[in-house]
Chains A and B, each alone.
Chain A
Amino acid sequence: MTWQTFFDFSTMAHRHLVFVYAGVLVVQLSYVGWLARAWSRIGPR
């Protein structure tokens, strides 16, 4: 597989493959962002 075929949205299977890889990273990084925001709101010790 190459980058071009990875982003080939012509079939449902390929679309869902990209959704999984992008979705997992977005969800995980959003959680880290939420933790960082909470950390900054508690204030320095």
Chain B
Amino acid sequence: MARSSTLRNVAWLWLAATVVVLVYGFRQAIFISPPEETMGDLQRIFYYHLPHAVFGLVFPYVNFVASIAFLYWRRRDPLKALTADALAVAAAEITILYVGITLGTGMLWGKPAWGIWWTWDARLTSELILWLLYISYVLLRRLSPTGQTPTLAAILSIFAAIDVPIDFMSIEWWRTQHPAPVFGPNGGGIAPQFVTAVLWNLAGWAMWGIFLLGLRFALERRRQIAEQDAALLALEASLETPQ
């Protein structure tokens, strides 16, 4: 009980700190950071697009690691496997959210910048495939009635994780419409006047993503425990001797 209360307090404190960082990041992005030379104010879309794109490639690996842990524990320690499965579900949904926002904000940037909403270049296509893979992961979990669903979903997540490095490297491996890499050895880097706004928004959306991950994980554990309680009650009821 005391542990649960401490966790709740930590979650509220984390949320408060996240809101402060996001508000400050918004102020940096919109009011403090100067307009970019060629794109003007349109470049400010980047401050929301980039963090979602970066963490949209991190959360799939949380899902991947949790899925591997689930596969390892599912026969050895089913209770640990359930916890890993809850983390995998949480990470998959947050991947959909972050990758979906990346695609949406990218399209809203693309129309005024390129004159087109969408092009089938390697980066955009691999990002769309990643989103569709995680949509199929969540649909599989929701619609499949068998007891093997978490195992099937964990195997699907291994295939989904393969798309992440392809997505990340696509702008290095192929000539694309998408701008060149920002980070890494071949990255173009960020001009010093934009760095503060980028870092505050990266921090804010990372903290928000971790908060969502924790909240969704707690929800899934609550659902699992409610399901176990219901199964136990049904079992007890079936064992009662009729009078």
Contact = CB atoms under 8 A, between A and B. Distances in A.
Contacts of A38: 219, 223
B50 to A, nearest CB: 12
Contacts of B136: none
B31 to A, nearest CB: 6
B215 A42 contact: no
B51 to A, nearest CB: 10
Interface of A: 1-2, 5-6, 11-14, 16-17, 19-21, 23-24, 27-28, 31-32, 35, 38-39, 42-43, 45
B223 A42 contact: yes
Contacts, number: 75
Interface residues of B, number: 32
Nearest to B108: A16
Contacts of B112: 11-13, 16
A38 B221 CA distance: 12
Given A27-B97, A28-B97, A31-B212, A17 B222 contact: no
Nearest to B110: A16
Interface of B: 26, 30-31, 35, 39-42, 44-45, 48-49, 52, 93, 97, 100-101, 104-105, 108-109, 111-112, 208, 212, 215-216, 219, 222-223, 225-226
B216 A35 contact: yes
A19 to B, nearest CB: 5
Given A1-B31, A45-B226, A16 B104 contact: no
Contacts of A23: 101, 104-105, 108
Given A1-B30, A28-B97, A42 B219 contact: yes
- Which 6 pairs, one residue from A and one from B, show the smallest C-beta to C-beta distance? A13-B42, A13-B112, A16-B108, A12-B112, A20-B45, A20-B105
Contacts of A39: 219, 222
A8 to B, nearest CB: 9
A29 B98 CA distance: 13
Contact of A42 (B104, B216, B222): B222
B52 A16 contact: no
Nearest to B229: A45
A24 B30 CA distance: 15
Nearest to B106: A20
Given A23-B104, A38-B219, A42-B219, A17 B44 contact: yes
Contacts of B42: 13, 16-17
Given A16-B45, A20-B109, A42-B222, 4 more contacts: A12-B111, A24-B101, A28-B212, A43-B226
A6 to B, nearest CB: 6
A32 to B, nearest CB: 7
